[in-house]
Amino acid sequence: MAKRCEVEIVGKPVQELVLNPENLPKNYTYDEGGAGFRDALVPSQDENIPVVDIHRLSSPSTAQQELAKLHHALHSWGCFQVINHGMESSFLNKVREIGKQFFHLPKEEKKKCAREPNNVEGYGNDIVYSQKHRLDWTDRVYLKVLPEDQRNFKFWPQNPNDFRSTVLQYTESLRLLTEVILKAMAKSLNLEEDSFLNECGERAAMFLRFNYYPPCPMPDHVLGLRPHADGSTITFLLQDKQVEGLQVLKDDQWFKVPIIPDALVINVGDQIEILSNGIFWSPVHRAVIDAEKERLTVAMFCTPDSEKEIKPVDKLVNESRPVLYRPVKNYPEIYNQYYQQGIRPIEASKI
């Protein structure tokens, strides 16, 4: 697909729009059927988003049960919450805190790591190519954190002064956790445990994104993040501790993803959907806004080495389950082009 060559229209950070609530720009608001973004269903006790326990996954007497739970989660919801992942509550608070501290800085200070036009990395808001596009009510800091030699430190905030060290520590924790999760996913499909890890390569990448959602006077008519599925292999989401907002689409209905203290939400991204030949699927999700409270979440997107070709694993292709996806390479690139046009990028890979 040809590269887009439009000129980006640079808009104000959402945080500044809030200062003028009587006059919200039209391209943030949904008029039609907009009411009720916030009243999604709460999953029932019986069919809740599964909670996977890493301790149980690692001990022989409970591992099989936990793997079965994981398999079910990824086949039915495309996501789960993970507990006992080894990160302390105080550390997760710290990760949220550095994000909030950054967004609370004066704008001149934040602009020191502003992203550049047509580039996602750094501090900024939605990339806009056309005034017709509906925009997300969110400001972000987006950083490539792995591989190490691809870090662009000019986009990494220096304020608060423990921002960088905290991000580095969080990256290392999630790098290790990614290995545990990808191995478990492969095992739950009766594959060799390294199957998915090998496909991702030694130079797999990780992108960290702080999503800051200022409160909005019209919460039923704006979205923090419009419906999308992630282009990652898997995504880790550290939710805000108090303010809900994440919703996931299942059987054509929106469900709230409950806040569990210290759990991380993990969802399948398009590239695991492809690797698993559609057995695991990449769920459509969105974020809604609160009328009074700010919300901060931290997303970590894992993605394979950009040189690796990603296609369904051989063992998951057979007569009763023919190959469903074409090979893709450097998927985040394809993803960004489609996303801007409002098309689900995985459609490009479906046979």
Is the omega angle on the peptide bond into residue 261 within 30 degrees of 0, that is, cis? no
DSSP H helical segments within 22-151, as ranges? 54-58, 63-76, 89-103, 107-111
**Total residues interacting with Ni ion, rule: CB under 5 A:** 1
Contact partner, 234, from Ni ion, ligand OGA, none, Cβ < 5-8 Å per class: none
- Site residues for Ni ion, window 217-236 (CB under 5 A)? 230
Please, is 51 exposed, middle or buried when counting C-beta atoms within 10 Å of its C-beta (0-12, 13-18, 19+)? middle
Radius of gyration of the chain (CA): 20
- Positive or negative CA dihedral for 14, 19, 25, 31? positive
CA distance 308 to 297: 30
20: burial class by Cβ within 10 Å (0-12, 13-18, 19+)? exposed
- Kindly identify the residues of this chain, within the stretch 247-286, that bind ligand OGA according to CB under 6 A: 285
d(CA 343, CA 295): 27
Binding mask 91-130 for ligand OGA (x = CB under 6 A): ----------------------------------------
- DSSP state at residue 279: S
273 lies in the site for Ni ion, by CB under 5 A:
no
Tell me if 229 contacts ligand OGA by CB under 6 A. no
Out of 174, 184, 287, 302, the only residue in the binding site for ligand OGA (CB under 6 A) is: 287
Of 52, 74, 299, 316, which lies in the binding site for ligand OGA, with binding defined by CB under 6 A?
299
Question: Is the separation of the CB atoms in 141 and 209 below 8 Å?
Answer: yes
Would you give the binding string for ligand OGA spanning residues 23-42, x where CB under 6 A is met? Answer: --------------------
Here the tokens at position 232 are 């990652």
CB nearer to Ni ion: give 40 or 189. Answer: 40
| 105 Cβ contact partners less than 8 Å away, ≥ 6 residues apart | 159
Residue 237, binding choice from ligand OGA, Ni ion, none, Cβ under 5 to 8 Å by partner class: ligand OGA
Residue number with CB closer to Ni ion (209 or 308): 209
d(CA 267, CA 124): 24
List 15, 81, 195, 211, residue binding ligand OGA (CB under 6 A): 211
Number of amino acids touching ligand OGA (CB under 6 A): 11
Cβ proximity to ligand OGA: between 183 and 209 the closer is 209
Work out how close the CB of 281 gets to ligand OGA at its nearest, in angstroms, rounded to a whole number: 15
Using rule CB under 6 A, residue 237 touches ligand OGA: yes
Q: What is the DSSP string of 186-233?
A: HHHTTS-TTHHHHHH-TT-EEEEEEEEE---S-TTT--SEEEE--SSS
Quick one: what does residue 182 bind among Ni ion, ligand OGA, none, with the CB cut-off 5 to 8 Å set by partner type?
Answer: none
| 230 binding ligand OGA? (CB under 6 A) | yes
- 298 binding partner (options ligand OGA, Ni ion, none; Cβ < 5 to 8 Å by kind): none
* CB atoms closer than 10 angstroms to residue 316: 19
Task: By CB under 5 A, tell whether 121 contacts Ni ion.
Answer: no
Instruction: Give the binding site for ligand OGA (CB under 6 A).
Output: 209, 211, 225, 230, 237, 245-246, 285, 287, 297, 299
Instruction: Give the binding site for Ni ion (CB under 5 A).
Output: 230
